[in-house]
Amino acid sequence: MARYFKIQSAVTMLQKLQNVFSSKEIVSNYHTLSSAYYRSQTFSNPLKRRYLSSNKDSKQSGAGKSNSCNSTSCQSTPDKWPTGNRANFHFHPELESILNEQLNAELKAFYYYLSMASYFGRVDVALPGCESFFMQMHHEEHEHAIRFLNYITMRGGMVNLYSVNGPEDQDWKCPLNAFKTALQLEIDISDKLVSVNCVAEKYNDLNASDFIVTEFMEDQMKSINEMARLVTVLSGVGDQALARFMFDKDVLDHYVKSEFDILKKRNFDASKDCLKKKP
């Protein structure tokens, strides 16, 4: 209380001197008097003085300890991540490179088949069998690309994705043109698979060779045979409206899996909409 009254009296005295000094000088004088009074009260009390000095010493000693740490854990730098040290399991760089080329060839076919499916699904083309067939091929090529990607990663390699360009002319005009292009795509992919297998055998990589032969080659031969048969049929029947309709129906009935049947999906969606509209 005594301290409070002393400060209050000092403030009162400063307020009386407003006519003599400016307001800024009053504030500065007030802070000067207050700080001087606080210092006098602190250092006149031995307990406060002892507490402040001990607290200051403890802070300085703590700072000194933190700066004088010589342990190896403090001085060592963390390891670089990624480390760059790949355990590639005897995975030759040439084989890794050609597998990446095969991966990107699968993505190219994936892109082409998507273009074909979208063309035959157009309103002015309306061939659901061809649309479903190429959408099915699109999904198969995507699955193949993912399998190559996973294999390269499993062997400790690095996946390199290249830019994939779409077809120069995406107006396929007729089913025969699209199926001829698809046949050539399958032949090119098969040739690349043979090249990959040759590189695997060159470096005695039995695992890679087995992966190519057992996982892809037989299915690839079946795809080429299937495409060649469809090209033969289209070349024989021509491009008349009725022939195109019958060919499209045959493709939908015999070459397309049920989960890729566009007509079934549309009918299923339409039936769901009808059920929703019923009261």
Binding residues for Fe cation: 106, 141, 144, 186, 220
Higher pLDDT, 46 or 166: 166
Q: Residues near 165 by Cβ (< 8 Å), separated by ≥ 6?
A: 108, 111
Indicate whether 37 pLDDT > 60.
Answer: no
**Rounded mean pLDDT, 184-198:** 97
Binding residues: 106, 141, 144, 186, 220
Per-chain mean pLDDT for the chain? 80
Q: What are phi and psi of 73, to 5 degrees?
A: -65, -30
CATH architecture of the domain with residue range 93-277:
Up-down Bundle (1.20)
Can you give the pLDDT at residue 278? 55
Query: Across 5-19, 58-72, 113-127, which has the greatest mean pLDDT?
Result: 113-127
Indicate whether 272 pLDDT > 50.
Answer: yes
Can you give the pLDDT at residue 89? 72
pLDDT per residue as tens digits for the range 130-159: 999 999 999 999 999 999 999 999 999 999
Residue 53 CB-half CA count within 13 A: 8
CA distance 244 to 178: 13
CA distance 97 to 160: 8
* Residue in 90, 149, 84, 133 with CA at minimum distance from that of residue 231: 133
What are the domain boundaries of the chain?
A: 2-58, 93-277
DSSP structural state of residue 21: S
- Return the structure tokens found at 3: 């301290």
CA distance 244 to 211: 39
**Rounded mean pLDDT, 62-70:** 51
**Rounded mean pLDDT, 30-47:** 53
Can you give the pLDDT at residue 17? 56
**Rounded mean pLDDT, 50-67:** 52
Q: What's the pLDDT band for 276 if we cut at 50, 70, 90?
A: low
pLDDT per residue as tens digits for the range 219-264: 999 999 999 999 999 999 888 899 999 999 999 999 999 999 988 8
**Rounded mean pLDDT, 34-60:** 53
Q: Over pLDDT 70: what percentage of the chain?
A: 63
Residue 139 CB-half CA count within 13 A: 10
Q: What's the pLDDT band for 27 if we cut at 50, 70, 90?
A: very low
Higher pLDDT, 234 or 75: 234
Can you give the pLDDT at residue 138? 96
